[in-house]
Amino acid sequence: AQSVAQPEDQVNVAEGNPLTVKCTYSVSGNPYLFWYVQYPNRGLQFLLKYITGDNLVKGSYGFEAEFNKSQTSFHLKKPSALVSDSALYFCAVRAPFNKLIFGAGTRLAVHP
Amino acid sequence: NAGVTQTPKFQVLKTGQSMTLQCAQDMNHEYMSWYRQDPGMGLRLIHYSVGEGTTAKGEVPDGYNVSRSTTEDFPLRLLSAAPSQTSVYFCASSLLAGISGNTIYFGEGSWLTVV
Q: Where are the domains of chain B?
A: 4-114
Q: Given pLDDT bands bounded at 50, 70 and 90, which one contains residue B95?
A: confident
Find the angle CA(B6)-CA(A21)-CA(A11) to the nearest 5 degrees: 95
Test B105 with A41 for CB contact under 8 angstroms: no
Over residues B37-90, the pLDDT tens digits come to 998 888 999 999 999 999 999 999 999 999 999 999 999 999 999 999 999 999
Q: Given pLDDT bands bounded at 50, 70 and 90, which one contains residue A100?
A: confident
Given this model, what pLDDT does residue B100 score? 57
Residues from chain B that touch A36, judged by Cβ atoms under 8 A, are 106
- Going from the C-alpha of A87 to that of each of A2, A11, A80, B5, B71, the distances in angstroms are 25, 10, 15, 22, 32
**Chain B, nearest residue to A30 by Cα:** B100
Over residues A74-95, the pLDDT tens digits come to 999 999 999 999 999 999 998 8
With beta carbons less than 8 A apart as the criterion, state whether B90 and B107 touch.
yes
Given this model, what pLDDT does residue A109 score? 97
Given this model, what pLDDT does residue A47 score? 95
Name which of B65, B68, B56, B43 is nearest A96 in CA terms. Answer: B56
Given this model, what pLDDT does residue B98 score? 58
Helix, strand, or coil here: A36?
strand
Given this model, what pLDDT does residue A62 score? 95
| Domains of chain A, CATH where assigned | 3-111 (2.60.40.10)
Residues from chain B that touch A42, judged by Cβ atoms under 8 A, are 108-109
Over residues A5-42, the pLDDT tens digits come to 999 999 999 999 999 999 999 988 888 999 999 998 88
Within 10 A of A112 (CB to CB), how many other CB atoms are there? 7
CATH topology of domain B4-114: Immunoglobulin-like (2.60.40)
Cβ–Cβ contact B85 with A under 8 A: no
Residues 43-82 of B with CB under 8 A from A: 43-45, 48, 50, 56, 58
Given this model, what pLDDT does residue A95 score? 82
